[in-house]
Chain A
Amino acid sequence: MTERTLRGKVAVVGVGETKYYKHSQSPDPEFVLALKAILAACADAGINPKDVDSFASYSNDRNDPSRIASALGCKELRFSNMQWGGGGGGGAAAVGNAAAAIVSGQADVAIVYRALAQGQFQRFGVAAAGGTVAGENALVNPYGIFVPAQRYAFKMMRFMHDHGIEREALRAIAMASYHHAQANPRAVMYGRPLSEEDYDNARWISEPSRLFDCCQENDGAAALVLVSAERAKDFRQKPAYILGVAQGSNHRHAARAYNATDLGTSSFGPVAPRLWEMAKLGPKDVDVLQSYENFTGGVLMSLVEHGYFKPEEANDFLKLENLIAPTGKLPMNTSGGNLAECYMHGLELQIEAVRQLRGTSTSQVPGAKVAGVIAGPMVTPVSTMILGSEETL
């Protein structure tokens, strides 16, 4: 049997995004944001939007590919795909799904996209009033547990307890994002640096998370253009090749009321080994990493479960100097990430990984050839990917 892999077979040739807004501040409806990001990605690649034939998204994106393809006047619609699961867990999986469709002949030019206008729709961090709840929510909401900062607190608290993680480790993760955002004019937190004192003195949201451990909520849209590796050099930009992608979650993750077999986890335990196997690389080969910050505690567990360091090494490894470009051991969230650039459900992290491989980041890691992207941790399913420049093929 031939090896089943996506390694080196598909490339990202275009990236696009709208201006990023604080939540509820977009002047455009969500669908317009999606269209603008897709058009920007096509312009970046130098491809006619009418030649796009496939779309993939995640987290129940409200913008239907059939409507997008009609609005853009695409010649035909081939592959249209939605990754199951909420939150930002599907960001890398959506890229993987589109890539799989390209490799299997179901798609030629695929767009991966995500758009959010939370003013137009319900916010993530605020619950709706009143009424009744059933199923999983009936076991959770009446106890005042509604939003991700609370729901995932139990996972982070357990992991931190089991491994003696100190608050300074979480602080370094938050400060790395804010540090990089100060170099990035697109970042919502550009011009708003975060000091250790600001972090330490911030109010609690839900222990173990204080304010700056939690991602923003934003409006905007982001999109990537994917084509087969054979065609990758026909376009305007230096291609970023998919070296590995994996999705999934751990045993009985969705058993209600916190009955996953292993609770204190990012869910990457069984997923990350499949990533490294496909990429034929390991954590030491990664030049620059984007790791989805829903909460800094989630990043902590993602890094451990990808093998970047052992749990007992976390307090030593997670120091600001190790996490910042250009000199850190593991430069991370180099555009500012979800905390300080924009919470575009992590798709902005995929775009930043591409920029690093092109050499165009505002916090460039010199000569970056291998870029990791870890999508939203602790949800189910989660996903993760590795991109590489041509030299890595």
Chain B
Amino acid sequence: MTYLPAGLPAPVTEADKLDQPYWEGTRQNKLMIQRCGSCGTWQWGPEWLCHECHSFDMKWVEVEGRGTIYSWTRCWHPVHPALKGFGPYIAVVVELPHAGKIRMLGNLLGEPQQEVEIGTPVTAVFEPHDDAKVPFTLVHWRQV
């Protein structure tokens, strides 16, 4: 059982492989993000070089899947054919304070009408889609 109905677009690794370590990591329930091998700056989304020191030595580091809600929205209007008759559902931007305050987007699991407060602690929940043509795993969040 997935949070959103089947039929939404499936994520695939970029043609240039920039984000491949992230998507491979999620398949093993690992949250992999970038950290500069030269100056230690955390970086997300993925980019070829460090935005701080311009080193191309970007490492992929596993980080703990926890954070706080930085912003959120509850979506009501079905904007995609797969969402017709479904909803509402919640999407959150989560800040990871232990990883340079980078942010990640995911759905907030649980009751769709639940109260959502900016600053609330959340933990990551991995949602595998093993039956997809190219299997992938999404990263959701749940209030602690």
- Alpha-carbon gap, A258 to B44, bound state (A): 9
A55 to chain B, nearest CB (A): 33
0/1 per residue, A240-262, Cβ < 8 Å to B?
00000000000010011111000
A177 to chain B, nearest CB (A): 20
Nearest A residue to B134 by beta-carbon distance? A132
Q: A135-B19, A144-B91, A206-B76 are in contact. Are A257 and B107 (CB under 8 A)?
A: no
- B73 pairs with A157, CB closer than 8 A: yes
- B88 pairs with A204, CB closer than 8 A: yes
In B14-64, the 8 Å CB interface with A consists of 14-15, 19, 23, 44-47, 51
- Alpha-carbon gap, A131 to B13, bound state (A): 13
Q: Return the contact of A144 from the options B14, B19, B75, B93 (Cβ within 8 A).
A: B75
- B10 pairs with A142, CB closer than 8 A: yes
In A115-137, the 8 Å CB interface with B consists of 125-127, 129-137
Residues of chain B within 8 A (CB-CB) of A135 are: 14, 19
Residues of chain A within 8 A (CB-CB) of B19 are: 135, 138
- Alpha-carbon gap, A208 to B73, bound state (A): 7
Q: Return the contact of B10 from the options A132, A205, A208 (Cβ within 8 A).
A: A132
- Alpha-carbon gap, A137 to B14, bound state (A): 10
Q: A130-B7, A138-B19 are in contact. Are A206 and B45 (CB under 8 A)?
A: no
- Alpha-carbon gap, A259 to B4, bound state (A): 24
0/1 per residue, B55-87, Cβ < 8 Å to A?
000000000000000111111110111110000
Counting CB contacts under 8 A, is A145 at the interface? yes
- Alpha-carbon gap, A227 to B71, bound state (A): 45
In A139-163, the 8 Å CB interface with B consists of 139-147, 149-150, 153-155, 157-158, 161
Nearest B residue to A138 by beta-carbon distance? B11
0/1 per residue, A50-78, Cβ < 8 Å to B?
00000000000000000000000000000
Q: Return the contact of B103 from the options A134, A153, A258 (Cβ within 8 A).
A: A258
Counting CB contacts under 8 A, is A207 at the interface? yes
Residues of chain B within 8 A (CB-CB) of A137 are: 9, 11
- Alpha-carbon gap, A147 to B9, bound state (A): 14
- Alpha-carbon gap, A318 to B93, bound state (A): 28
Nearest A residue to B127 by beta-carbon distance? A142
Q: A125-B79, A126-B79, A203-B76 are in contact. Are A263 and B45 (CB under 8 A)?
A: no
Counting CB contacts under 8 A, is A264 at the interface? yes
Residues of chain A within 8 A (CB-CB) of B89 are: 144
- B105 pairs with A257, CB closer than 8 A: yes
- B8 pairs with A141, CB closer than 8 A: yes
Q: A142-B138, A145-B75, A204-B76 are in contact. Are A256 and B44 (CB under 8 A)?
A: yes
- B105 pairs with A258, CB closer than 8 A: yes
Q: A155-B71, A204-B88, A207-B73 are in contact. Are A146 and B80 (CB under 8 A)?
A: yes
- A207 pairs with B74, CB closer than 8 A: yes
- Alpha-carbon gap, A143 to B79, bound state (A): 12
Residues of chain B within 8 A (CB-CB) of A207 are: 72-76
- Alpha-carbon gap, A161 to B72, bound state (A): 11
- B44 pairs with A143, CB closer than 8 A: no
- B107 pairs with A143, CB closer than 8 A: yes
0/1 per residue, A174-210, Cβ < 8 Å to B?
0000000000000000000000000000011111100
- A131 pairs with B45, CB closer than 8 A: no
Nearest B residue to A252 by beta-carbon distance? B51
Residues of chain A within 8 A (CB-CB) of B11 are: 132-134, 137-139, 141-142
B23 to chain A, nearest CB (A): 8
- B91 pairs with A143, CB closer than 8 A: yes
Q: A134-B11, A139-B105 are in contact. Are A205 and B76 (CB under 8 A)?
A: yes
- A204 pairs with B77, CB closer than 8 A: yes
- Alpha-carbon gap, A343 to B10, bound state (A): 32
- A129 pairs with B81, CB closer than 8 A: yes
Residues of chain A within 8 A (CB-CB) of B134 are: 132
Q: A144-B83, A256-B45 are in contact. Are A157 and B10 (CB under 8 A)?
A: no
Residues of chain B within 8 A (CB-CB) of A258 are: 70-71, 93, 103, 105
B100 to chain A, nearest CB (A): 10
B108 to chain A, nearest CB (A): 10
Q: Return the contact of A129 from the options B7, B88, B118 (Cβ within 8 A).
A: B7
- Alpha-carbon gap, A132 to B133, bound state (A): 10
Seen from chain A, the residues whose Cβ lies within 8 Å of a Cβ on chain B are 125-127, 129-147, 149-150, 153-155, 157-158, 161, 203-208, 252, 255-259, 263-264
Can you name 10 A-B pairs with beta carbons within 8 Å?
Answer: A131-B9, A145-B73, A145-B91, A146-B80, A161-B71, A205-B76, A208-B73, A256-B45, A257-B45, A263-B93
Seen from chain B, the residues whose Cβ lies within 8 Å of a Cβ on chain A are 4, 7-15, 19, 23, 44-47, 51, 70-77, 79-83, 88-89, 91, 93, 102-107, 118, 134, 136, 138, 140
Additional A-B contacts beyond A255-B45, A264-B71 (10; CB < 8 A): A129-B7, A133-B12, A134-B11, A138-B11, A141-B9, A145-B105, A157-B71, A203-B76, A207-B74, A258-B71
